Chain A
Amino acid sequence: QVHLQESGPRLVKPSETLSLTCTVSGYSITNGYYWAWIRQAPGEGLEWIGRIFHRGHTYYNPSLESRVSISVDTSKNQFSLRLNSVTAADTAFYYCAREVGSYYFEHWGQGTLVTVSS
């Protein structure tokens, strides 16, 4: 059973960097699939942030591309998100997910609320 769990600071100051890690259990990242980040502002819809393949290839949402970076640590079976220069508009629930063939998201973490505030 694949399980994903997000972790990281829940409160980030404006202009600083948001950093989250997704720990995967029940499946080795090196066996394949894409690994993605998706966010949802409170009361709003879903927004795809980007994805990474276990070999390191990344694809980002063009609207966030200048501020986002996704990396993978296969030794820890984790992948991570960094979002620079955050503002209040980046306050959201952040989900990590396993993406099948860059088509759909079949397994999701429970999500973590990150608040941007001074």
Chain B
Amino acid sequence: SSELTQPPSVSVSPGQTATIICSGDALPNQYGNWYQQKPGQAPVLVIYSDYERPSGIPERFSGSRSGTTATLTISGVQAEDEADYYCQSADSRGTYRVDFGGGTKLTVL
């Protein structure tokens, strides 16, 4: 079972803000990373090290981490943002284990 917990689904209207929360007891000591996956495609990194955005990812994607929670925020949601989103963390000091959240289906109404 995943050590990271996400809501199964989130729905927003175009132009609104979508917030996806990831919870995990190890998050106070680990970075949070986020991936977007569209049907039939490989995941794409959209946020790393809590809030960093890879080249080519729109500014409307942002991230944060506080305590046992990591958060992905998509401001001004567009239809093309409809996808599954996965949080991920890694233990960098001990087991080096990687965990993924169960994924959240973002629906743009």
Q: Which residues of A contact B (CB under 8 A)?
A: 36, 45-48, 51, 59, 61-62, 95, 100-106, 108-111
Contact = CB atoms under 8 A, between A and B. Distances in A.
A102, A105, A106 pick with most chain B CB within 10 angstroms: A105
B49 A103 contact: yes
Interface stretch (B19-27, B71-79, B95-103): B95-103
B99 A48 contact: yes
B42 A104 contact: no
Given A59-B96, A100-B48, A102-B96, A46 B42 contact: no
Contacts, number: 63
B100 A104 contact: no
Given A45-B2, A48-B98, A106 B54 contact: yes
Q: How large is the interface on B (under 10, 10 to 19, 20 to 34, 35 or more residues)?
A: 20 to 34
Interface of A is mostly: strand
Nearest to A4: B42
Interface in B16-53: 31, 33, 35, 41-45, 48-49
Interface of B: 2, 31, 33, 35, 41-45, 48-49, 54, 86, 88, 90, 92, 95-103
B97 A61 contact: yes
A41 B26 CA distance: 25
Contacts of B101: 45
A103 B92 CA distance: 7
Given A48-B97, A95-B42, A108-B43, 10 more contacts: A36-B98, A46-B43, A51-B96, A61-B98, A95-B43, A102-B98, A103-B92, A104-B48, A104-B90, A105-B88
